[in-house]
Structure 1
Amino acid sequence: MKENQKRRIRYQVACSLDGYIAGPNGEVNWIPDDPGIDFSVLFAQFDTLLMGRRTYEALPLDDPTYGHLYADKELIVFSRTLRPETHPRATIVAELTPTYLEQLRLQPGKDIWLFGGGELFRSLLELGFVDTVELAVAPILLGGGHSFFALPRAPAAPEIARPATVCTVGHRALKLCCDARRRVTTFLHMIFYA
C-alpha cells in the first residue's frame, strides 16, 4: 500500500434479480454453484472481512470445502451480543464508529470486504465508509427475503458521476460495480426501478 493510500471497503455480494441477498429465512442456496468462479482468487483480494453477527455465525469456518478461504483473514464482527472471549477467531466490535473505520482503512494491507448483510452495508454507506458496491446478480427472482438495500425515494434528477461497469462472473452471474462515493443510490434506482 502506498503512503497515504487508504484500503478500500468493498461491498461484494450476490443478489437476485429482484434485489435480495438471502431468502426469507436467510437461505442462500439459490446462489448458483458456478465452476467458472474461482473463490480463492476472489478471496485473495482481501485480508480483512467485516461482517455482522448473523453472517459470522453462518460462516463455514470448519467446512472442508470452504473453510480454508477464511483461514488467513482477519474477521471483524460487529455485534452487541457476542462476547470476545467466546470467539477467539474473530475481533468482536460493539460499535463501528467513523474513527474505528478510518483507523481500519489506514492499516497496511489489502482491501476490506464488507461481507454479507444488508443492514451493516446500509449503516456503513450512510456513514460514508463504503467505497465500492459490487453485485453479482444471479438470474433468479426470489420474490422476498433480505433485501441488499432499502432504497430511498428516487432523486428528482438522476446523475451518475462515473458510469458503472458490468462484467460477467463465471457462467451464471453478472457483476455490476460502481463507486459508492459517487451517487450509489441513483445507480441502484436505475437498476431496480428502470
Structure 2
Amino acid sequence: MRRIRYQVACSLDGFIAGPEEDEFDWITPEPSFDFEALHAQFDTLLMGRRTYEIVHSMGESFPGKQVIVASRSLRQEDHPDVEVVSEELEARVRELRAQDGRDIWLYGGGDLLSQLLAWNLVDTVEPAIIPILLGSGVPLLASHGVRRRLAFIRHRVYPSGMVLLEYEVQKSADGNS
C-alpha cells in the first residue's frame, strides 16, 4: 500500500505561509537539499484548491506526476491537466493508496491535512523547519480538533539551519480524533 506523506516547508512557529496572502518568500533555498531525489519518491501529488491555484499561477508543473486537486469549486473542464475531486474525496484517496506506485505527496494545505488525518489517511508528517518566526500566517495544521500522536523516525540538519523532521502518524482506533 502506498503511503501518504505530508512533506512541507514550515516556519519554526508552525506556519506554512506567511501572514500576507500566499506569502512564502521566507522559504530560503537550501543548496544541499536534493529536490530531485525528493520528487523521485512520489508519482502522485494531492493538494487542496488554494495550494493548486498558487502553484498553477506561478507556472509550476509536475511532469510525469499525477496531480489530484481536492476542490468543491474548481470545474474539471477548466483544469484538464489535473484530476479535480469534488465529491467522495475519502474514497478516491483510499483508491489511490491501494494502487501500485510510489508514495503520494500531500503537497501543502493544512485544511486537507486535517481532513485526511481525521480519516486516518496520513502516514507521515515531514516538516522542513525553516529558521524563521513569522508570528502569524497559514498554520501547518488547520484547527479542526484532530489530534494524533506521532512517532519520531529521523531528522536531518542542513547548513542553512533548516531541519527536516520525519514522524510516523499513529492511527486512531476508530478513525476519529
Taking structure 2 as the reference length, the TM-score comes to 0.86
Aligned pairs, how many?
170
Residue number among 164, 169, 175 corresponding to 2:164 in the alignment: 175
CA distance, structure 1, for counterparts of residue 47 and residue 67 of structure 2? 8
Q: Which runs of 5+ in 1 are unaligned?
A: 1-5, 184-194
Runs of at least 4 residues of structure 1 off by over 4 A? 60-63, 150-153
Q: Which structure has the larger Rg over C-alpha atoms? A: 1
Q: Which amino acid aligns with 2:161?
A: R
Residue number among 14, 31, 34 corresponding to 2:9 in the alignment: 14
Q: Which amino acid aligns with 1:48?
A: T
CA distance, structure 2, for counterparts of residue 174 and residue 102 of structure 1? 31
Question: What is the CA distance between 1:151 and its match in structure 2?
Answer: 6.0
2:13 aligned counterpart, secondary structure = coil
Question: What is the CA distance between 1:150 and its match in structure 2?
Answer: 4.3
Q: Which runs of 5+ in 2 are unaligned?
A: 173-177
Q: Which amino acid aligns with 1:26?
A: D
Residue number among 28, 36, 41 corresponding to 2:32 in the alignment: 36
C-alpha root-mean-square deviation of aligned residues, in Å? 2.4
Taking structure 1 as the reference length, the TM-score comes to 0.79
Match of 2:93 in 1: 101
Question: What is the CA distance between 1:23 and its match in structure 2?
Answer: 0.8
CA separation of 1:23 and 1:177: change in aligned 2, threshold 3 A = same
Question: What is the CA distance between 1:168 and its match in structure 2?
Answer: 2.0
Identity of aligned residues (%): 46
CA contact 2:5–2:105 (8 Å) conserved in 1: yes
CA distance, structure 1, for counterparts of residue 47 and residue 66 of structure 2? 11
CA distance, structure 2, for counterparts of residue 55 and residue 105 of structure 1? 21
